[in-house]
Structure 1
Amino acid sequence: MLIQLAVMGLLVALIPLTLTWVSNDADKYRKLVWITVFLTFDLIMFGAFTRLTDSGLGCPDWPGCYGHSNPLLAHEHISAAQEAMPTGPVTVAKAWIEMIHRYLAMAVGVLIITLMVIAWRRWIKSGRTELRFRPWFPTLLFLFVCLQGAFGAWTVTMKLQPVIVTIHLLLGLTLLAMLTWLGARQNAHAPVSPAGRALATPALIGLALLIVQVALGGWVSTNYAALACNDFPLCHGALVPQMDFDNGFTLWRHLGKTADGEYLPFPALTAIHWVHRTFAFVVIAYLAWLGRKAFQDGGLRKTGRWLLTVMALQLVTGLATIYLNWPLAIAVVHNGGAALLLLLLVMLNYKTRHAPAAEAARAAPAPF
C-alpha cells in the first residue's frame, strides 16, 4: 500500500515537473520553486475544503483508506460505514475528498524533495559559489514537510483533536511562508528607499499579528465555532456576550468536549468566535496602515497594493460568512485569503530586508 501511495504522489507531482521541464523559462529552478508555492497554496485551500466539509475522517486510518491506497479498493468498507451512519464522518464523497488531499500533500512532498536534490547538485557543481543554490534552506523544507506529514497522520489518528488540527493548519501555512521566502530569493527586486527599509520591523510585527489571528481563526474552524455569533457587530445582541473562556481555550481536549469529557458549552464556542472577531479589528487597522506605507514606496508599491486588496477581501468574506450563514465557498475563500495575506507579508518582510537599496541602484554604473 505504501508503495502504491508513493507512486500516486509521484504521478501527481509529474504534472508540474513536466510543465517546468518543457517550459521556455531559462531559470527552471526558480519556476519550480514558484510552482511549488502555488501548489502548496492550493493544498491549503483544499485542506480548508476538507475540514469545512467535515471530511477529515473520510478515511479513518492513515496513510491509506481502510488499508488500501484509494477509496475504490475500500468501497465495501466505506459503503458499510455510510449505511450504518449516513450523515457520519465516513461517506464515499468524504473519503475521496480526504484521499485527494493526501495525494496533493504527497505531491508537494515530492516537489520539495526535488528542490532539495537540485539545490545540492547545483551547489556542489558550482564549487559552493552560487549562493541562491545554498542547500540548507531546501533541506530544512524537507525536514519541515516530514513534520507536517506527522501532524497530518495525528489529525486522523487522534480523531480531529482541535489543537492537533490547528497546529497542522499553522504548519501548513508556515511551509507556504518558507517556500515563499525561497521563491523571493530567486527573484530580482526593485530598489527600496530608506523609508521602505524602515518598514522592516513594522512588517515583522504585522506578520506576527497575522499569525496570531490565523491561529485564532484555525481554533474557530477546528471547534466549529464559525456560527457561534450570527449577528454583527454585536454578538447575541450584546457587545460582550456571555462567554466561557476557560473551556473555550483549553487546548488539550477532544473535539466538542471539555477537558473533563463533558459536552462543550455553547458560551465556550461564543468565546472562541468573539476573540477571533475582536482581534480582527486590530489586525485590519494595523495592516491597513502597513499596506498604505508600503504603497508609498516605489519598490514596495505592488506588494502594498495587493496587501490592501486582499485585506479588504478578507473583511468582506469574513462578514459574509456571518450574514450568509457560513456558505462553504465563501468560507474556503476566507481561508485562502488568510494564506494570501501571509504570502504577501512574507514578501514584504523579504523586500524590506534584502531588496537592493535605492541609493545603491542610482550609484551603480549603467550596463554596456
Structure 2
Amino acid sequence: MLIQLAIMGLLVALIPLTLTWVSNDVNKYRKLVWVTLFLTFDLIMFGAFTRLTDSGLGCPDWPGCYGHSNPLLAHEHISAAQEAMPTGPVTVAKAWIEMIHRYLAMAVGVLIITLMVIAWRRWIKSRHIEIKFRPWFPSALFLFVCLQGAFGAWTVTMKLQPIIVTIHLLLGLTLLAMLAWLGAQQNEHVPVSALGRALAWPALIGMLLLVVQIALGGWVSTNYAALACNDFPLCHGTVIPQMDFENGFTLWRHLGKTADGEYLPFPALTAIHWVHRSFAFVVIAYVAWLAHKALKDAGLRKTGRWLLIVIALQLVTGLSTIYLNWPLAIAVMHNGGAALLLLLLVMLNYKARYAPLAEGKTARISVLRAGENTAPTI
C-alpha cells in the first residue's frame, strides 16, 4: 500500500515537474519553486474544502483508506459505513475528497524533495559559490513537510481534535510562507527607497498580527463556530453577548467537548467566533495602513496594491459567510484569502528588508530597468 501511495504522489507531481521542464524559463529552479508554491496554495484551498465538507475522516485510517491506496479498492468498507450512517463522516464522496487531499500533499512532498536535491547538487557543483542554491532552506522545507505530514496523520488518528487540526492548518500556511520566501530569494526586485526600508519592522508586525488572526480563524473552523453569531455588526443582538471563554479556549479537548468530557456549551462557540470577528478589525485596519504606506514606494507599490485588494475581498467574504449562512464556496474563498494575505505579507517583508536600496538619479534609472526585466512578482 505504501508503495502504491508513493506512486500516486509521484504521478501527481509529474504534472508540475513536466510543465516546469518544458517551460521557456531559463531558470528552471526558480520556476519549480513558484510552481511548488502554487500547488501548496492549491493544497491549502483543498484542505479547507476537505475540512468544510466534513471529509477529514472520510477515510478513518492513515495513510491509506481502510488499508488500501485508493477508495476504489476500499469501496466495500466505505459503502458499509455509509449504509450504517448515511450522514456520517464516512461516505464515498468524502473518502475521495480526503484521499485527493492526501495525494496532493504527497505531490508537494515530492516537489520539495526535488528542490532539495537540485539545490544540493548545484551547491556542490558550484563549489559553494552560487548563493541562490544554498541548500539549507530547501532542506528545512523537507523537514518541515515531514512534520506537516505527521500532524496530518494525527488529525485523522486523533479524530479531528481541534488543536491538532488547527496546528495542521498553521503548519500548512507556514510551509506556504517558507516557499514564498524561497521564491523571493530567486527573483530580482525593484529597488526600494529609505521609506520602503523603514517598513521592515511594521511589515513584520503586520504578518504576526495576521498569523494570530489565522490561528483564531482556524480555531473557529475546527470548532465549527462559524455561525455562532449569525448577525452583524452585533452578535445575538448585542455588542458583547454571553460568552464562555474558559471552555471555548481550552486547547486540549475533543471535538465538541469540554476538557471534562461534557458537551461544549453554545456560549463557548460564541466566544470563539466573537474573538475572531473582533480581532479581524484590528488586522484589517493595520494591514490597510501598511499597504497605504507601501504604495508610496516604487519597489513595494505592486505588493501594497494587492494587499488592499485582498484585504477588501477578505472582509467581503467574511461578512458573506454570516449573511448568506456560510455557503461552502465563499467559506473556501475566505480560507484562500487568508493564505494569499500571508503570501503577500511575506513578500512585503522580504522586499522591505532585502530589495536593493534606491539612491538618487542612478537608482531611478535602475528602477525603470528592473521593472522591464524582472519576472512578474507580487
Q: Whole-Å Cα distance in 2 between the matches of residues 139 and 214 of structure 1?
A: 26
Identity score, percent: 87
C-alpha distance after superposition, 1:220-250 (max 9, x if no partner): 0000000000000000000000000000000
Q: Whole-Å Cα distance in 2 between the matches of residues 233 and 97 of structure 1?
A: 35
Contact 1:200–1:353 under 8 Å retained in 2: yes
Q: Whole-Å Cα distance in 2 between the matches of residues 43 and 174 of structure 1?
A: 13
Within a 5 Å distance, the mapping from 1:7-156 to structure 2 comes to 7-156=7-156
Deviation at 1:360, TM superposition (A): 7.9
Q: Whole-Å Cα distance in 2 between the matches of residues 365 and 282 of structure 1?
A: 38
Are 2:263 and 1:289 aligned?
A: no
Which residue number in structure 1 is paired with residue 157 of structure 2? Answer: 157
The TM-score normalised by the length of structure 2 is 0.96
Q: Whole-Å Cα distance in 1 between the matches of residues 139 and 132 of structure 2?
A: 14
Which stretch of structure 1 is more off in the superposition, 21-30 or 320-329?
Answer: 21-30
SS of the equivalent of 1:358 reads coil
Contact 2:191–2:363 under 8 Å retained in 1: no
Q: Whole-Å Cα distance in 1 between the matches of residues 146 and 351 of structure 2?
A: 29
5+ long unaligned stretches in structure 1: none
C-alpha distance after superposition, 1:105-150 (max 9, x if no partner): 0000000000000000000000100000000000000000000000
Contact 1:44–1:172 under 8 Å retained in 2: yes
Contact 2:57–2:89 under 8 Å retained in 1: yes
Which residue number in structure 2 is paired with residue 337 of structure 1? Answer: 337
Deviation at 1:365, TM superposition (A): 10
Deviation at 1:310, TM superposition (A): 0.2
Which residue number in structure 2 is paired with residue 308 of structure 1? Answer: 308
Are 2:286 and 1:267 aligned?
A: no
C-alpha distance after superposition, 1:178-203 (max 9, x if no partner): 00000000000000000010000000
Deviation at 1:296, TM superposition (A): 1.1
Q: Whole-Å Cα distance in 1 between the matches of residues 87 and 342 of structure 2?
A: 35
Q: Whole-Å Cα distance in 1 between the matches of residues 215 and 167 of structure 2?
A: 8
Deviation at 1:362, TM superposition (A): 2.1
Deviation at 1:359, TM superposition (A): 1.2
Contact 2:20–2:31 under 8 Å retained in 1: yes
Letter in structure 2 aligned against 1:353: R
Q: Whole-Å Cα distance in 2 between the matches of residues 286 and 181 of structure 1?
A: 22
Compared CA separation, residues 227 and 127, structure 1 to 2 (3 A): same
Q: Whole-Å Cα distance in 1 between the matches of residues 362 and 198 of structure 2?
A: 19
Instruction: Give runs of ≥4 in structure 1 deviating > 3 Å.
Output: 363-367
Deviation at 1:361, TM superposition (A): 8.3
Contact 1:253–1:259 under 8 Å retained in 2: yes
Contact 1:318–1:334 under 8 Å retained in 2: yes
Which residue number in structure 1 is paired with residue 247 of structure 2? Answer: 247
Contact 1:191–1:361 under 8 Å retained in 2: no
Are 2:169 and 1:169 aligned?
A: yes
C-alpha distance after superposition, 1:148-206 (max 9, x if no partner): 00000000000000000000000000000000000000000000000010000000000
Contact 1:244–1:267 under 8 Å retained in 2: yes
SS of the equivalent of 1:296 reads coil
Which residue number in structure 2 is paired with residue 235 of structure 1? Answer: 235
Q: Whole-Å Cα distance in 2 between the matches of residues 309 and 264 of structure 1?
A: 37
Which residue number in structure 1 is paired with residue 191 of structure 2? Answer: 191
Which residue number in structure 2 is paired with residue 2 of structure 1? Answer: 2
Deviation at 1:364, TM superposition (A): 10
Compared CA separation, residues 30 and 83, structure 1 to 2 (3 A): same
Which residue number in structure 2 is paired with residue 323 of structure 1? Answer: 323
Contact 2:5–2:69 under 8 Å retained in 1: yes
Letter in structure 2 aligned against 1:196: G
Q: Whole-Å Cα distance in 2 between the matches of residues 121 and 161 of structure 1?
A: 41
Q: Whole-Å Cα distance in 1 between the matches of residues 300 and 361 of structure 2?
A: 15
Compared CA separation, residues 75 and 280, structure 1 to 2 (3 A): same
Compared CA separation, residues 252 and 193, structure 1 to 2 (3 A): same
Are 2:346 and 1:346 aligned?
A: yes
Compared CA separation, residues 58 and 359, structure 1 to 2 (3 A): same
5+ long unaligned stretches in structure 2: 370-378
Letter in structure 1 aligned against 2:238: A
Q: Whole-Å Cα distance in 2 between the matches of residues 360 and 36 of structure 1?
A: 38
For the aligned residues, what is the CA RMSD?
1.2
Contact 2:112–2:138 under 8 Å retained in 1: yes
The TM-score normalised by the length of structure 1 is 0.98
The number of residue pairs the alignment matches comes to 367
Contact 1:256–1:264 under 8 Å retained in 2: yes
Compared CA separation, residues 361 and 220, structure 1 to 2 (3 A): farther
SS of the equivalent of 2:66 reads coil
Letter in structure 2 aligned against 1:5: L
